[in-house]
């Protein structure tokens, strides 16, 4: 899936599923899509997409820094997503991605 084609509905269909993050050194980390949330009821600006956010959960360590990461999902394919760490919650770290 191309990010410009990503929709709220596409991610809602995979809520609860894992996304694999592969680092350059061969290490891997799984992030689980915890929540998909609409940020508006209608598209904004020049886009036809309703703005939405994704909330991922990952292990307590390592804590990923804010930047773009390549995430792989078996149905959605490879996506380059900008993740922002929100902090620890119940021995896990939450990360948010926003699509406008």
Instruction: State pLDDT tens for residues 32-62.
Output: 999 999 997 766 666 677 899 999 999 999 9
Total number of domains in the chain: 1
Note down the domain range covering 58: 3-99
Whether the per-residue pLDDT at 67 is higher than 90: the answer is: yes
User: What pLDDT was estimated at residue 100?
Assistant: 84
Contact 86, 75 (CB under 8 A): no
**Is the whole model's pTM more than 0.75, yes or no?**
yes
């Amino acid at each position: 899936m191309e990010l410009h084609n990503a929709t709220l509905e596409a991610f809602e269909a995979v809520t609860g599923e894992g996304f694999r993050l592969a680092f350059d050194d061969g290490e891997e980390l799984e992030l689980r899509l915890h929540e998909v949330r609409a940020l508006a009821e209608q598209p904004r600006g020049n886009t036809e997409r309703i703005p939405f956010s994704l909330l991922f959960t990952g292990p307590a360590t390592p804590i990923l820094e804010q930047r773009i990461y390549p995430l792989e999902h078996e149905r959605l394919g490879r996506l380059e997503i900008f993740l922002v760490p929100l902090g620890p919650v119940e021995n896990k770290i939450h990360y948010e991605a926003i699509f406008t």
